Amino acid sequence: SGVDSRVLIVGCGISGIGAAQKLIRQGFRNVRIIEATSRSGGRVQTGRLDGKIIEIGANWIHGPSQKNPVFRLACQYQLLDEECMSEENQSVDIDGLPPFFSTWLSSSGKKLEAEVMAPAVEVFLTLRKKCKEFYNSSRAPMSSVGEFLKTEALRISNDEWKEDEARKLRQALFSTLLKLECGISGTHTMDDVDLGSFGMYNSLPGLDCTFPGGYDGLITHMMNELPKDIVLFNKPVKCIHWNNVHSRSSAKEGTGPVTVECINGETFEADHVIVTIPLGYMKKHHDTLLNPPLPQHKSQSIQRLGFGTNNKIFLEFEQPFWDEDCEVMFLIWEDEYDLQNPVSDMKTAWIRKLSCFTVLKPTERYGHILCGWIAGHESEYMETLCEEDVLRTVTQLLQRFTGNPTIAPRKLVRSRWFHDPYTFGSYSYVANGCSGQDIDNLAEPLPLTGSNAQPLQVLFAGEATHKSFFSTVHGALLAGWREADRLISHYNPSPRKVTANL
């Protein structure tokens, strides 16, 4: 029966933990999670800088309101500040971009007037909104978000600001906002993001909020609800043998239809395996991760969908050099007004890709910490440099943009998601030429319907399998719950289903 079936979940991120939670609540007795590393949480990872909490991975609850399961759990576990839980906070509709109190710094060391930059911000936000409207409407006029944003922004600039002396600066600001957008989407360039599918991502209402005690508090609370020893740590999975190929070849009769083989040679039998491995890892290993291999349409979608890098560089200062109300400092390179891809020589120019610094708030909690955001290949290159090199380059950058040669961060901590061997990047995006069908393909369980083999041997969850909330913690959680529900209803078909079958 269902509750005795052996379910093995690969990956102990929020998606795997969520799947386990749901199955166990439904009485499943044979659930195990198998995890490559020595920790749970995956891309939810809280670290420390000088004793202060910093988030190496996920940062915010995107859209903290009742429809967001991460928000609901966080409230239930009492992990949020009062303010974040207020009705007012929950009803703010920011459409994915918080209304930042920004400072604009230029490459010639000047602080730019907010009023002068505001029209450009407005144009960019309007165009971004337009990009989303191409989903589910008539055909998108161009293939990529980048092409559309750049063409339209330059057209408007030429039409409206031709005589304006701020024109070039405003265009350079577009360049900065495009870099920020690369971070939000987790891509190298917005030219790689599909215009027709951009609106498939759904933002929930609510003003994005953080976990005062760290995002990993959520993981700890969820793990505490699971039986002890449910997770097998330090066991990277090498291959998932399904349709019984493994037990047939090793003549082990009576074992499960699926055998999970780890890199260390250990094997585990199961009736069902839920794979929550990041898309970045799947892209690298899709041809060997399953035996028999993935059906072609699934492996093609894995290759087509996007998975890029977004990293953070945390800097700690003895004293702040920014204004008290400043939430973000944007960096504007005055020579980037033509919106060509900014970085030509990686070695000398990677730092140009760093779009902005956010200020960790409130000060009483964090002290004086800035978080620099950098996405794409430049971000991946940054990961190869030693910490001193990064610190030196970032210090020079800040000195140049503030015009203050005495600015010097005391300490630096950065994320390195591209070099994480079990992630290979940060999160997924809908790449050029992809659509929701690719995400459906990714999420489709094996064996495919119509086959005579035992159903639901291998199921797929994880952030990248959620059609409207991919790239988020809540998307990952919902995907884990979805696959748990798939198994639950397989064993306990709902009355309506039974009638339909009759």
Summarize as ranges the residues that interact with ligand 6YU (CB under 6 A): 10-16, 34-37, 42-44, 57-60, 62, 96, 184-185, 198, 201, 236-237, 276-278, 281, 310, 312, 415, 417, 422-423, 426-427, 462-463, 471-474, 476
* Closest CB to ligand 6YU among residues 15, 106: 15
| Paired sense of beta strands 102-106 and 328-332, if any | parallel
CA of residue 268 relative to chain centroid, distance: 30
Amino acid making up residue 333? W
Residue linked to tokens 């207020």: 86
* Closest CB to ligand 6YU among residues 44, 326: 44
- Residue 198 DSSP code: G
Cβ of residue 113: shortest distance to ligand 6YU, in angstroms?
Answer: 29
Preceding omega of 405 cis (within 30 degrees of 0): no
Residue 66, SS3?
coil
User: How many angstroms separate the CA atoms of 169 and 171, rounded?
Assistant: 5
Cβ of residue 35: shortest distance to ligand 6YU, in angstroms?
Answer: 5
> CB burial class (10 A; 0-12, 13-18, 19+) of residue 272?
buried
User: How many angstroms separate the CA atoms of 475 and 186, rounded?
Assistant: 15
User: Do residues 42 and 12 touch, judged by C-beta distance below 8 A?
Assistant: yes
Cβ of residue 184: shortest distance to ligand 6YU, in angstroms?
Answer: 5
Cβ of residue 99: shortest distance to ligand 6YU, in angstroms?
Answer: 16
User: Do residues 478 and 276 touch, judged by C-beta distance below 8 A?
Assistant: no
User: Do residues 86 and 205 touch, judged by C-beta distance below 8 A?
Assistant: no
For residue 343 the two structure tokens come to 């970085």
Cβ of residue 335: shortest distance to ligand 6YU, in angstroms?
Answer: 28
* Closest CB to ligand 6YU among residues 84, 407: 84
In DSSP terms, which residues pair with 268 in a beta bridge? 260
* Closest CB to ligand 6YU among residues 218, 488: 218
Cβ of residue 462: shortest distance to ligand 6YU, in angstroms?
Answer: 4
* Closest CB to ligand 6YU among residues 10, 80: 10
CA of residue 180 relative to chain centroid, distance: 14
* Closest CB to ligand 6YU among residues 16, 376: 16
Cβ of residue 192: shortest distance to ligand 6YU, in angstroms?
Answer: 12
Contacts of 420 (CB under 8 A, 6+ apart): none
* Closest CB to ligand 6YU among residues 112, 375: 375
Residue 12, SS3?
coil
User: Do residues 258 and 240 touch, judged by C-beta distance below 8 A?
Assistant: yes
Cβ of residue 312: shortest distance to ligand 6YU, in angstroms?
Answer: 6
* Closest CB to ligand 6YU among residues 37, 454: 37
